[in-house]
Amino acid sequence: MPTFTARSTPDSSPITTRPNSPISNLRRHPNYYLPGGDLFIQINDTLFCIHSYFFIRESTRWLHFLRHTTQGRHTHDPIVLSHEFNISPPPTPQTFALFLWVFYNPYYCVYDVSIPTWWTIEAYASYFGMRNVLDLVDRELRRLEHQQQRSSTSWGTLSRLDGSNPTADTTDDTWEVSESPYETWISDPSVDEEISLLLNRRHLEDGRD
């Protein structure tokens, strides 16, 4: 999950309201009630104050919605997300915060989160029609899938240096893998010769003797 390092308000920061105000029981989100925010969104008992710029930039759905309403411009008239958008699964403060992290990630180009988190982000981005965010999700999911495939590859599945492949019927011939699998590879004469050829070719391409 994303790790947040800065907070604009304490964890449970009640909103100053009149005693009978309909939002008197709301609390400010600890990370996304931001100074300078111009868009107020309510999810359950939590109020977000964020920047409409990202939503207008990335989503024509939000652009059209905000053009035809004054709702969400003030603390006392927030956009109740579940009333205005039929998002499935229903939004929660936790999942919406994960989605907002895409725009407020403090680590540029570093998206070190889990696959389920990307699925959560994808659900919001898909509903809002945020194509750029969906492209990001797709790229990161492919990267994580590739990492998982690499980490699941064992040395026992690799072909032998002589080109033969052990089969399930071979019981008397076992692999002996040293603590450092590179040792055998580096000491192999054919590999040493291939490396020398590659180095010589690089010198010739560079115009050197």
Query: Under a CB-based contact definition with an 8 Å cutoff, are residues 63 and 56 in contact?
Result: yes
pLDDT of residue 103: 95
Give the domains, in start order, of the chain with CATH numbers: 13-146 (3.30.710.10)
Dump pLDDT digits (tens) for 182-207. Answer: 444 445 555 455 555 555 554 444 55
pLDDT of residue 19: 42
pLDDT of residue 145: 87
Dump pLDDT digits (tens) for 22-61. Answer: 556 899 999 999 999 999 999 999 999 999 999 999 999 9
Dump pLDDT digits (tens) for 131-186. Answer: 999 999 999 999 998 888 887 655 445 444 455 555 545 444 444 444 444 444 44
| Conformation bin of residue 207: beta by default, left when phi > 0, alpha when psi is -120 to 50 | left
Q: How confident is the model at residue 112 (pLDDT cuts 50, 70, 90)?
A: confident
Least confident of 35-39, 111-115, 116-120: 111-115
pLDDT of residue 147: 85
Ordered DSSP codes for the chain: -------SS-SSEE----TT-TTTT-EEEEEEE-TT--EEEEETTEEEEE-HHHHHHH-HHHHHHHHT--TTSSTTS-EEHHHH---SSPP-HHHHHHHHHHHH-SSTT-----HHHHHHHHHHHHHHT-HHHHHHHHHHHHHHHHHHHHHT--GGGSPPTTS----TT--S------SSTHHHHHH-HHHHHHHHHHHHHHHHHTT--
CA distance 163 to 203: 30
